[in-house]
Amino acid sequence: MKIVKILNNNAVVVQQGSKDEQIIMGRGIAFQKRCGDSVDHSKIEKIFARQNNRLFDHFVELIQQIPLNILLTCDRIVTYAREQLGPLQDSLFISLADHCFGALERKRNGITLHNRLLWETQHLYPNEYQVAVYALKIIEQRLGVSLKLDEAGFITLHFVTAQLQGDMQEVTQVTRLMQEMLNLVKYHLCIEYDDRSLRYQRFVTHLKFFAQRCLSHTPLSSEDHEFTEAIRQQYSVAWAAAEVVGKHLTQHYQHPIQSEELLFLTLHIEKLRKEAQ
């Protein structure tokens, strides 16, 4: 692999034959090196392949601003997150590294950023939140800096963003809308949720994608109108609660809820209603 560009003392852009360029990171990997020189393979700690030109360019810019130890720490966090949560967008590494660098700078300067969605984040995304809490431990172990749980909440939303194929603003809106829908159902049926139950977790997962469809105005299509009508009659109490959610979405988000959405929402609500009895 030949060096085609030196980003800093710890990162270079390389190319091997006709293959796409790659970014190679490692402590002192560019020390006393010039373009055209070969890379010392013993110093390689991270390879970032060009899979997306936009991401590659962002990553080049990021490397020139953020210290290597922070980048490698975030790489460890992303690896752990994928082990626990499954596939995540490649852009997660960039957004997470940028966020963690900012969080560490705020900590160094004594600036506290409160997370107003921390409670919602903890309860709506418990799996992602637990991974984010462990991410704080990785940061403390590798960088010697202890961050508050507010940062775990912010990191959680980065994980959710990487799952939903959206951006941070959309995920924040989705989180708020999910909480609104949960409250509407809770108070309409006068029930308490058991957030440890599988049915509750399935309901929350449904609401996550339902909220995303709502905000993007993407309809859920189905042709089984007879089945929808049967559900409406059989589970009339749960259907009424789903209609309350539908009215809220129409009034506040200009998203009229279709009967197919009401069907699936009703089925989840009915399960929760029976569990609470």
Range 2-53: architecture per CATH: Roll (2.30)
Tens of pLDDT, residues 196-238: 788 888 898 889 888 888 887 776 665 567 778 888 889 999 9
Question: Which two structure tokens, joined as six digits, stand for 255?
Answer: 């998203």
Residue 159, pLDDT above cutoff 70: yes
Q: What is the mean pLDDT of residues 49-74?
A: 84
Q: Is 175-276 in the same CATH topology as 68-165?
A: yes
Amino acid of residue 212: Q
Q: Do residues 28 and 10 make contact, with C-beta atoms less than 8 angstroms apart?
A: yes
Please give the structure tokens belonging to residue 265: 């929402």
Q: 39-43, 52-56, 97-101, 263-267 — which is least confidently predicted?
A: 52-56
- Sequence spans of domains, the chain: 2-53, 68-165, 175-276
Pairing of strands 22-25, 46-49: antiparallel
The pLDDT score that the predictor gives to residue 171 is 87
Residue 25: the pLDDT is 86
pLDDT tens digit sequence for 75-89: 999 999 999 999 998
Residue 187 CB-density burial (10 A; 0-12 exposed, 13-18 middle, 19+ buried) = exposed
Q: Output the pLDDT for position 105.
A: 93
> According to the CATH classification, is domain 68-165 in 3.30.110.40?
no
The CATH number of 175-276 is which of 3.40.50.2300, 1.10.1790.10, 1.10.1840.10, 2.60.40.1120?
Answer: 1.10.1790.10
Other CB atoms within 10 A of residue 119 CB: 11
Per-residue pLDDT at 116: 85
